Amino acid sequence: MSDSAAELIPHEPERQADRKVKYQAGAADKFITVLIYILFSLFAFVCVYPFYSIIINTISANDISARGEVVFYPKHIQFQNYVDVFKIPGLGTAALVSLGRTVIGTALTVGASAFLGFMFSQEDMWGRKFWYRFTVITMFFNAGIIPWYLTMRSLHLTNNFLAYILPTVVAPFFIILVKTFVESTPKELQQAASIDGAGIMTIFFRVMLPICKPILATVAIFAAVDQWNSFQDTLLLVTDSKLYSLQFILYNYINQASSLSTMVNLQNAGSTAMTSLATKQTTTSIRMTVTIIVVAPILLIYPIFQRFFVKGIMIGAVKG
Amino acid sequence: MRPQSYSIKSLSIRKFLYILPFMIMLGVFAYYPLYGWVYAFFDYMPPIPLSESPFVGLKWFHSLVENQVKIDQLLKVIQNTFGMSGLSLLFSWLPMIFAIFLTEIKAVRFRKFIQTVTTLPNFISWVLVYSLAFSMFSSEGIVNGMLKQLGLADSPILFLQSSDHVWLTMWMWTTWKALGWSAILYIAAIMGIDDSLYEAAHVDGATRMQVIRHVVLPSMLPTYFVLLMLQIASFLNNGLEQYFVFQNAFNKDHIQVLDLYVYNLAMGGGSYSVSVAISMLKSLISVVLLFSVNGLSKLLRGESIV
C-alpha cells in the first residue's frame, strides 16, 4: 500500500530522510500496517454506509427496496418519495421552524459570543474575572432538566418560539473560543484605534469583528448544527404542533409510522390523506425519506466546513 | 477636564454595563433554574400553583427509600447509570488508540478521508441516529431485508426491541457517533510532538511499536488524564436524548439512566416533586465529583482542570 521504509515515522520531512536510511521493516510491522488499513476502512464503512444505504433505498422503487434487494446501488430510480413526503401535514411548517430557529438563533449566538468574547478580553472592565467565571462555570453544572422545565414554564417560555432562541444566546464555550482568539491578536491594534479616538463600540465593530471572522465562522457552524439538531427543548417545552421542529416531527413519525400501519390494517376509518399515503408508500420508505430530508443539511455543509469544526475543538481544547 | 482616575473608573463601569444585559440573560437561563429546586420541598400537583402547594420538607427525599419497591427501582436506575458510564469509562482510551493508529497511516488522502468520514456521525442528532438505527435494524429495516434476501433469517431479528445487551448496544451507538470526533484532540497532541524525539528514537533503532510505546503514548497522557477527569465528573450525567429516543417497552428496565428516569417520572408520571428531588441530589453529587477530580488534578499535576 505504501513503501515499508516510510512506516516508522509520521512526519513529512523525516519520511524523506528515512528512504535513504533503508529502515528494515519486519513482517510483524507489515502485518500491523495491513491491519490498520483494514480496521479503519471497516470503521469508515460503518460510519458512511447507513447514510448511503438509506439514500439509495429512498430513490429506488419501494417494492424492490422493501424486499431488501437494494444494497450497493439504487434500482429503478424514482424521486416520488421526496414529492409524497411533503404531503404529510406539518412537515413544511416544521422545516420552516427549524430553518427559522437555525438562522435567527445562530445570528444572535454569534453576535453575543463575539461581543462577550471581546468584552471579557478587556482587562479594565469592572469585575471582569468574576463575570467571566460566572459565565464559564455554567458549562459544568446545571439544575437538571425538570427544574429547568419548571422555571421555563413559569417564564411563559412554553409553546413560544423564543424558547428556542433566548436560552442559547449566551454560550460559554463559544465565548471562550472568541476570547482566546481575541487575546491572540496584537494589543496594538486596539490601542492604536483607541488613541485615534475610537470608543469601545467602534473598536469592536470596526477593528475586532473583521479580524475575528475566522473564529466567528467556526462558532457559526457549531451554533447552526446545535440549533438544527436540537430536540430536547421541543420535547420539554412545546406541545403546539405549529412550533414542532423537524427533529421532533421525525421522532414522532418514526414512532407513529409503526402504529400507523397497524391502525390502517385494523380500521379503515380515519383521515383519508394519511391512509392513502400509507398504502402508496410503505412506512419504511416514508421514514427513510424524512430521515434523509432532516440529515441532508448536515451532510451538505459538513464536508465544506469540516476544517472549521476541527479548528474549533482545537482552540477550545487549549482553554477547555 | 475630568480627573484621569475618574474617567478610567467610569469607562470600566461602562464596559460592565454593556455586558450586563447578557449577564442577566445568563442569570435567567442558567442560574434561575436552580430556584426550581424548591419544588422538591413542596407537594406540587399541577395545575395547582406552587404558591398554593403544601410545604412538605424532606418528604420526597425520604420517600425515595421508604419501601423496598422504591429502593429496588432506584437501585436499578443507578445500576444502569453506573453500567453505561462505567462502560464508557472502561473504554475511554479508545479515541487515543484510534488517533495513534490513524496518524500511522502514511497515505495522506486516505487518512484525511478516514478522518472526515469518521467524524461525520458526531454532527447528527440522536433522533437521527435513532432514525438510522430504525431504518437499518427494525423488523422491516434494511438489515433484516438483506438477511431475508440471503436466506439467513426466516423471521426478522428484533434488534431494537431486545432487552439483552442494552448497555453494550448503547455504548456502541455512542462510540459510533463520537469516536472519530474524540480522537481529534489526541491527533492534535500527536502533531505537537517534537520531531527530535522521533529522530532520537530512530537513531536508537526503535521499532514502530517501541516508538508508539515510548514516544507517542507518553505525550498524550496529559490530554487523556484531563478528559478522563471530566468524564468522571459527569459520571451521573448520561444525558437524556440518546436513552429517550432508544427506549421502548421492552428495554425500559435496562435503559433507564438517572436523566431518563427523572424525565419519565415528571413528564410521564406527573411526579414533579420527586423528580426534582432526584435531580437535585444528582446535581449536588456531580458538583462534588467535579471539585474532587479538580482537586486530584491539582494534587497530581499541579494544574486545575476547570
> A199 in a domain, yes or no?
yes
> A263 in a domain, yes or no?
no
**Short-list A67, A55, A53, A49, CA closest to A282:** A67
The answer to whether residues A182 and A121 touch, using CB atoms and an 8 Å cutoff, is yes
Asked if the C-beta of A32 comes within 8 angstroms of chain B's C-beta atoms, the answer is yes
**Euclidean distance between CA atoms B53 and B45, whole angstroms:** 7
Asked if B127 lies within 8 A of A250 by C-beta distance, the reply is yes
The C-alpha of A177 sits at a distance from chain B's nearest C-alpha, in angstroms, of: 15
Asked if B279 lies within 8 A of A143 by C-beta distance, the reply is yes
What is the extent of the structural domain holding A188? 85-240+306-319
Question: Are A224 and A135 part of one and the same domain?
Answer: yes
pLDDT value of residue B210: 84
Question: Are A124 and A60 part of one and the same domain?
Answer: no
> A278 in a domain, yes or no?
no
Name the more confident of B258 and A270: B258
> A256 in a domain, yes or no?
no
What cell does B104 get?
Answer: 500511522
pLDDT value of residue A13: 39
What cell does B295 get?
Answer: 482537586
**Euclidean distance between CA atoms A283 and A281, whole angstroms:** 6
Span B63-74, mean pLDDT?
A: 87
> A311 in a domain, yes or no?
yes
Question: Are A25 and A98 part of one and the same domain?
Answer: no
**Which string of DSSP letters, residue by residue, matches A14-79?**
HHHHHHHH-----HHHHHHHHHHHHHHHHHHHHHHHHHHHHHHHHTS-HHHHHTT--SSS-SS---
pLDDT at B275 over 60: yes
The C-alpha of B66 sits at a distance from chain A's nearest C-alpha, in angstroms, of: 23
B124-173 residue pLDDT tens = 999 999 999 988 888 777 888 888 888 887 778 888 888 888 999 999 99
**Short-list A130, A129, A121, A127, CA closest to A183:** A121
ipTM attached to this prediction = 0.86
Question: Are A310 and A210 part of one and the same domain?
Answer: yes
**How many folded domains does chain A comprise?**
2
End residue of a domain, out of A78, A101, A136: A78
Give A-chain residues touching B126 at CB under 8 angstroms.
Answer: 231
Asked if A291 lies within 8 A of B202 by C-beta distance, the reply is no
Question: Are A8 and A150 part of one and the same domain?
Answer: no
Residues of chain A with pLDDT under 50: 1-23, 260-279, 319-320
pLDDT value of residue B48: 83
Question: Are A129 and A100 part of one and the same domain?
Answer: yes
**Closest to A147 (Cβ–Cβ): which among B8, B126, B276?**
B276
End residue of a domain, out of A49, A78, A107: A78
Question: Are A95 and A124 part of one and the same domain?
Answer: yes
> A214 in a domain, yes or no?
yes
pTM of the shown model: 0.85
pLDDT value of residue A130: 95
End residue of a domain, out of A26, A46, A78: A78
pLDDT value of residue A102: 96
Asked if the C-beta of A179 comes within 8 angstroms of chain B's C-beta atoms, the answer is no
The C-alpha of B182 sits at a distance from chain A's nearest C-alpha, in angstroms, of: 10
Question: Are A41 and A176 part of one and the same domain?
Answer: no
Give B-chain residues touching A200 at CB under 8 angstroms.
Answer: 11, 14-15, 18
pLDDT value of residue A11: 37
Average pLDDT in chain B: 88
Question: Are A235 and A99 part of one and the same domain?
Answer: yes
The C-alpha of A229 sits at a distance from chain B's nearest C-alpha, in angstroms, of: 5
Question: Are A89 and A231 part of one and the same domain?
Answer: yes
Query: What CATH number did the domain enclosing A168 receive?
Result: 1.10.3720.10
> A265 in a domain, yes or no?
no
What cell does A51 get?
Answer: 447514510
Nearest residue on chain A to B137, alpha-carbon basis: A50
Question: Are A98 and A152 part of one and the same domain?
Answer: yes
pLDDT value of residue B303: 80
Asked if the C-beta of B291 comes within 8 angstroms of chain A's C-beta atoms, the answer is no
The answer to whether residues B282 and B236 touch, using CB atoms and an 8 Å cutoff, is yes
A127 alpha carbon, distance to own chain's centre: 34
Asked if A125 lies within 8 A of B119 by C-beta distance, the reply is no
Question: Are A61 and A136 part of one and the same domain?
Answer: no
Asked if the C-beta of A134 comes within 8 angstroms of chain B's C-beta atoms, the answer is yes
The answer to whether residues B167 and B145 touch, using CB atoms and an 8 Å cutoff, is no
CA dihedral A96, A99, A103, A104 (to 10 degrees): 40
> A276 in a domain, yes or no?
no
pLDDT at B51 over 90: no
Asked if A313 lies within 8 A of B16 by C-beta distance, the reply is no
